[in-house]
Structure 1
Amino acid sequence: MTETRETNIVHQILEKYEGVLISDFYAGYDSIPCKQQKCWVHLIRNLNKDIRENPFDMEYEGFIREVRSLIIPIMEAVQKYGLKKFNLQKFEKEVDIFYRNSIENKQYKSELALKYQQHFQKYRASLFAFISQDGIPWHNNTAENAIRHVAIQRDISKASFHEEPTRNYLVLLGIRQTCRYQNKSFFRFLFSKETDIDKLKSRNTRKIKK
């Protein structure tokens, strides 16, 4: 809805947000005062891009092997058991070992290894929030997929998102996608005169007769 991604815009939108913010590594999110989970898809993509562009950096390659050894078993557990704290919190010990051996007590010479060492130090809490709380995704694919077709249409039409009709459309789209992901009826929400989607019961909720 805006031409830029200035930090003050992020603060305006998320001023009263109290949930878990799942995002990429845009620095504007760092100062938002809420619990955060950074997207591992973005991180892995960046790690892979840098190793492809620097195939002879053996120290950095070793660092990537350590990251891979840590995260693959966690992702396999997510695939098998879902995003359940009960099954994922056991990996907190492995995370501690990784940080002790590969981040906190390691001196790198490779510029890339140093770069990601600082990256992992800065985002430790927000990289592994998903193993300490139920239902927290380790990526922001859901949000990106929800607006992807809008971004494609914008690129095709070259239309501005600052006109009032477009703003209203995006508000309705946001409500519709939220209902979709919460398994709730978009039209039932509109006709209910409710203003809080969380208070609307999902489609699968049945009344229990007493």
Structure 2
Amino acid sequence: MSNNEKNGDKVDSEVTVTHTDTPVDASGRIQRVYHIKLSNPNARLDGSISPLTVSSNEFTMPSDIKTYQEDYDHLIDADNFNGADTSNKTLLNALEKTPIALMKVTNNTTGKDSTGVQGQKWAALIRYDTSGDVKNAVDPTNTRTATLEFVNDNDPANPITIVSATNTAQGTADSKIDFSNATDTLAYLEKLGYSLEKVVNNQTGKVITPPRRSRS
């Protein structure tokens, strides 16, 4: 990806991001507060705001679940988490005990602020290739996960991964993995002034599609 500010409707404002950590208990849990400040008083926040996006590996399905119906029957709806069960109980415990992110937006010009829960519960799901049949069995050990990342490489020596645009998909080892949100993600990034230059296989370094060329 490359970022051309002329193609995007952007506000000229310096953004400062800091965070403070406060210990919660002896187990090592912390409360982290992010402080994001826009220096331009004329900046307007238009549209949705994602307070926090996180990711974690090894969200594996329990070995005793082999069908979509069994997975559905084991859905978890806790105070802070709603989603699929996992054999990774340490991760599940963290999801269930981590409070939903709170967000406060303060206007330093008018003094108005908006405080509260700005989002939904932590969520997780497992995708299947079941041909639409709820009773179609899927071997939970025969799965693979692929990640599609968008990288700003204006400075090739210091590429920056656009974390909020990362797409992750899972499928059986013999099926095609479909990044269903990739087109929408790319369209969103193009509105921000980015343009797609190339697609690269991260494992081999091979360019899968050549950069798009402008016609003369």
State the TM-score, normalizing by the size of structure 1: 0.24
More strand by percentage: 2
